Each structure stands twice: as C-alpha cells, then as structure tokens.
Structure 1
Amino acid sequence: MSYYVKLFVVISGITVLSACTTNFSLPRGIPFNEVNQDEAIEKGDSHTTDNNDSIDENQINSEEIEETEIDREFLLESHFFNEVKVVNGNQVIENPSNIMAMVNKEYGLEDDYVPKDLVIPEVDFSFGDADIPQSYLRKDAATALEKLFKLAKEDNIELLAVSGYRSFFRQQGIFNVEKGNKGEEKALQAVALPGQSEHQTGLAMDVTSRSVNLEITKEFGETKEGKWVSENAHKAGFIIRYPLGKESITGYQYEPWHLRYVGLEQAKVIYENKLTLEEYFQKAKKI
C-alpha cells in the first residue's frame, strides 16, 4: 500500500472516531482526544496518546468535578430568597417567615410583623423562668436551640439564653437607649434600627455564660463557651451572624453571642466556607 493510501486510511479512521464522540460525557470546552489528534496523525495511529497528555486530562476532569461540587453547595430553592417591595424608599421583605430571610441594613421588616409560631425553648435562661417576649423563638429555631444546648452539655459546656424575639417597637426602645448613651454613629454599629433587627424574625438568640457574668460582651468569644459555640453552632443549624473581621460586610460590630438559625444544610455551608449570610447569598443560585 502506498504512503498516501496509508495516510488516507489513517485520516479517515480519525474522522470516524471524532464523529462518535458525541455519545461521550466530556469536560466542558475540551473535545475528545483534541490534545492528541495532531500527534496521532503524524505517527499514523489515532489511538496513540502521550502519558503527560493523559495526566493533564485527568487533572482537568478533577477540576471540573471539584467545581461542580462547589457550585452544588450554593444551589438554593427560590423561596429562600428575599421577596422585596419598596415602601417609602425602603426595601421591605414580603416573605419574612422564610427561615433564610436576610434582614440587615438593606432589607427590613414591616413594623407589624410578628412570627406566628413563637414558643419558649426548653433551655436555661440568664433571667430564670420568667415568661417574657425575649424568651421566645420560632418553633424550628427553638427546637434547634434545644439541640445546641444539649450538644454543649455533652461537652461539659454551660450556655444560657439571653434574648430571642423582639418586636419592632421593643427594638426602637433599645436603639434609642443606645443612641442616648453613645451617640447615633456608634449606636448604628451596635444596634439595629427597628425593622432591621434579626430578633424580630424570631430566628435569632443571644447567648452567654457564667464566665462573663451572664453579660452580652465580645469577651464571650474568648471563653471556652464562646469558642465552643463558634465551632459547633452549625451542628444545630445556627451561624454566628456577625463574625470578627466581617464588619464591613454585615454592617455591625463583632457579636460572638448572636446566633441566627438558618437550617442545618445552609449553616454547614456557611460555616465551612467562612461566610456571612450576605456573602452566602452572593454565591447562591436559585433552583
């Protein structure tokens, strides 16, 4: 067989092989055997591959799989995103019962919003057994808090709950006191305006310990109890809502005591990726 006939046979074989690749699952943008076809034609063997090229393809496949797994972490059903309407220039959340509702300085709640499923979790409170509004949480969050306190007890950690649900008007009073004591600028860094407080959602609880005299203080984060909470809150579906070093993102100072319920799956992703709720929603994709 002449050289040109052999070359024609080889090229025809490669063309047939390429046409069959549509039935394979390929990495995006990388045709089957693309890196080896020119070399195969020169050698007259469409099945010859270089070992180094095979390693490169494996690495590409690995990167594609890893990227897909990371993206999957941030797939979130559409009802978990804020639905917003503009009222007097303010963005007001229309689906506040959503457990992932992102309440902050940009998105707020109606002044008359009160969760319908508030209950008192069976945990120890810093003020004892008094039946007062701040002892309440939404049912799912209350159950999760009970789980968190149980996990803590198993590790010989004593936690006490301090402040859960707050109404719009209760938050107004707290802000006014802080403003009177420290001035408006500092008050805005430490206390949410009414309607912008997570406590109104019934999904947030402040916690403390005897090691800081049952106070709400950033020193709690340096105690064994505070460190335990930081490392384990996600196991019950909570996140540290205002972490250290993320003040420019959350808009608030570091609060190691402020726990926010978001659900087990989302809490795990936020914890493992060291995100704030704002950063999580920047990555989240609706499904």
Structure 2
Amino acid sequence: MCHDCVAGRRTAGASRRSFARFLAAGAGLTVLAACTPVAPETVAPSSSPVPAVTSASGVPAVESTTAAAAPSAQVPVSPSAAAALPRQFSLTDPASPWVVVNKHRPLSPADYAPADLVRPNVNLAVSGEAALLNSPTAAAAETMFAAAAQDGVVMTLASGYRSYGTQVVTYNGYVAARGQADADTASARPGYSEHQTGWALDIGDGGGACGFDSCFADQPAAVWAKANGHRFGFVVRYPLMFHPITGYYYEPWHLRYIGVEAATDMANRGIVTLEEYFGVEAAPGYA
C-alpha cells in the first residue's frame, strides 16, 4: 500500500515487492489490494437495476481532490450524501453496486461469490479468477479502457475478482510472514475484501511501471483514471491520506464501481471516500 509519508512509502513499497511472488502463486494475482466492510446501512435498499454506463462524453471530467492533512480516525457518522440521488441501493448486499465493504463491514455471507462473473474484453495482465469481474463492472471497464485508449493511455486489468478461498490463502501467507498486526495493514481478512464482490479492480499501465507502489499515482493510467473514472462509474477507493477513514493507505490502482450517478456526484461534491458519501462510520481498524 502507498503510505502518505516518505517512510511509509518506503515500507509499503518494500513489503509489496517482497510479497509479490507469494501473491502470484496464490491465484494468478500480481498483488492483493485491501478491501473491507463498515457500519449500519443508511441508504434504503432497492431492487432497481444497476445504473447504466454512459458514454465517455456524457459527463465532463472532474478530478477528485484530497485533504491537505490526514483526517481524524474519530470521524462521526454523517447523513448520506447519496440520499439525494433518484436511485438508491443497499449498502450491505454484496450484489449491490453501493455495498460498503471495510474493516467494520464484512461481507454477508462471508464466502459470497457473484453469480455473474465474466471476463471483460480488456487488456489483461492476469489470468484465472483474477481476470473476472461481475457483469456490470466488466461492461463499465470495457467502456472505460476503450476511452483511455482513445486518449492514448494504456490500461490493463491487473487484478479483478478474488474468491474467499483465495483470500484465505493470501491473508494467511501475510500473517505467517509478518504477523497478524502487520498483515492487517496490507491485506484484507477473508470475507472483508472488495475484490470478492466483483465490483473492484486493480489497474496497471501495461508495462509494469510502479505496479502496486506509490509511484503508480504518477503513471498515465492512474492519472487518467483519477480524472475520468467517475464518467464510467468508478472511484479510487483508497485515496491519499484518508486511511483513518478507509482503513487502507493510498492505492491509486484500486478502482471501485458504484455506478455513473453516484461516482459523478462524488466527484462534483469533492467527496473521496465511500464511508463519507454513504454516511457510514470510519473503519481504521477491525471492530
């Protein structure tokens, strides 16, 4: 993970590089991006369909901004900013595009597996289950990757779906190598990973430059995704210096699909975490 200080960045980069071989052997994954659940549901669930992906020209690009200093870990629960949107979705159902998964909000059931996993027609840097996404996310990714390519930006799918079983193996490997306390800063516990929902993906630049390290934030793929991802329903799930809220350090490669309406609303309002947007409590550590 990418820390927000020089020492943290060195530690995070070294730990990721030292563990790359283990992750690749686990399930064809290059890396393990952290993801996990948070507090009570504040937006009413709905059976409405997932918002459709709009064209690349439908919404002007707006780059999200981050705070100048890290927010307090004691972030109060605030009213949901998403309540103003015409369509509402569950924050707890893993099949919902708005499900909030973090260190306070585990998946239910813990071994959830999407019923609609597909392989998107995009540049792949992985194989097996890691090359899969749920169908709405896959469709949105195809549109986004194509738009990036039109702008001359190469983007690859570096990690997609990760099953509960794969997370068990990966997390246990971290614990064995580094101890549980340190493992919890780098890997989600089984049943607490966004990747298990099929709504999340890690991107690469096609050449492996700064892959899964803090310097990836300066690569064209990351810069483009941060500025344009909302046009296709994606947000950077773990923004810089917001780990006291999300529970994870900066991951400019980790994108989360929440639908075009919500992602664009977040960008327009300058809200950068799902916890704040959906009005649920911060999750800096496991409850």
CA distance in 2, matches of 1:222, 1:268: 22
Secondary structure of 2:225's aligned partner: helix
Give the aligned length.
199
The equivalent of 1:102 in structure 2 is 100
CA distance in 2, matches of 1:72, 1:244: 21
Q: 1:256 aligns with which of 249, 252, 256?
A: 252
Secondary structure of 1:189's aligned partner: coil
Secondary structure of 2:278's aligned partner: helix
Larger proportion of strand: 1
Q: 1:81 aligns with which of 67, 75, 90?
A: 90
TM-aligned CA deviation for residue 77 of structure 1: 6.5
Call closer, same or farther: CA 1:258–1:179 in 2, change over 3 Å: same
Larger proportion of helix: 1
8 Å contact kept, 2:238–2:249: yes
**Structure 1 residue 146 corresponds to structure 2 residue 137:** no
TM-aligned CA deviation for residue 211 of structure 1: 4.9
Larger Rg: 1
After superposition, residues 41-120 of structure 1 pair within 5 angstroms as 74-76=83-85, 80-82=89-91, 93=92, 95-109=93-107, 110-120=109-119
Q: For CA contacts below 8 A with separation 6 or more, give which structure has more relative contact order.
A: 2
The equivalent of 2:171 in structure 1 is 175
Q: 2:184 aligns with which of 183, 188, 192?
A: 188
Q: Any idea what the Cα deviations from partners look like across 1:1-58, whole Å, max 9, x if unmatched?
A: xxxxxxxxxxxxxxxxxxxxxxxxxxxxxxxxxxxxxxxxxxxxxxxxxxxxxxxxxx
TM-aligned CA deviation for residue 72 of structure 1: 8.0
**Structure 1 residue 278 corresponds to structure 2 residue 268:** no
The equivalent of 1:160 in structure 2 is 156
Call closer, same or farther: CA 1:73–1:101 in 2, change over 3 Å: closer
Secondary structure of 1:121's aligned partner: coil
CA distance in 1, matches of 2:115, 2:258: 17
Letter aligned with residue 277 of structure 1: L
8 Å contact kept, 1:206–1:259: yes
| Structure 1 residues not aligned, in runs of 5+ | 1-70, 83-92
CA distance in 2, matches of 1:232, 1:80: 23
Letter aligned with residue 101 of structure 2: V
CA distance in 2, matches of 1:224, 1:133: 26
TM-aligned CA deviation for residue 227 of structure 1: 1.0
| Structure 2 length-normalised TM | 0.65
CA distance in 1, matches of 2:218, 2:225: 11
RMSD over aligned CA atoms reads 2.1
CA distance in 1, matches of 2:175, 2:271: 31
Call closer, same or farther: CA 1:73–1:180 in 2, change over 3 Å: closer
TM-aligned CA deviation for residue 256 of structure 1: 0.6
8 Å contact kept, 2:85–2:261: no
TM-aligned CA deviation for residue 240 of structure 1: 0.3
TM-aligned CA deviation for residue 190 of structure 1: 1.8
Bigger Cα displacement from structure 2, 222-231 vs 150-159: 222-231
Q: Any idea what the Cα deviations from partners look like across 1:103-142, whole Å, max 9, x if unmatched?
A: 1111111233111111110001113xx4x11111111100
CA distance in 2, matches of 1:73, 1:138: 23
Letter aligned with residue 272 of structure 2: L
CA distance in 2, matches of 1:177, 1:219: 25
Secondary structure of 1:205's aligned partner: strand
8 Å contact kept, 1:126–1:214: no
| Structure 2 residues not aligned, in runs of 5+ | 1-79, 281-287
Q: 2:203 aligns with which of 187, 198, 207?
A: 207
The equivalent of 1:121 in structure 2 is 120
Secondary structure of 2:202's aligned partner: strand
Letter aligned with residue 119 of structure 1: V
Q: 1:136 aligns with which of 128, 132, 136?
A: 132
8 Å contact kept, 1:79–1:98: no
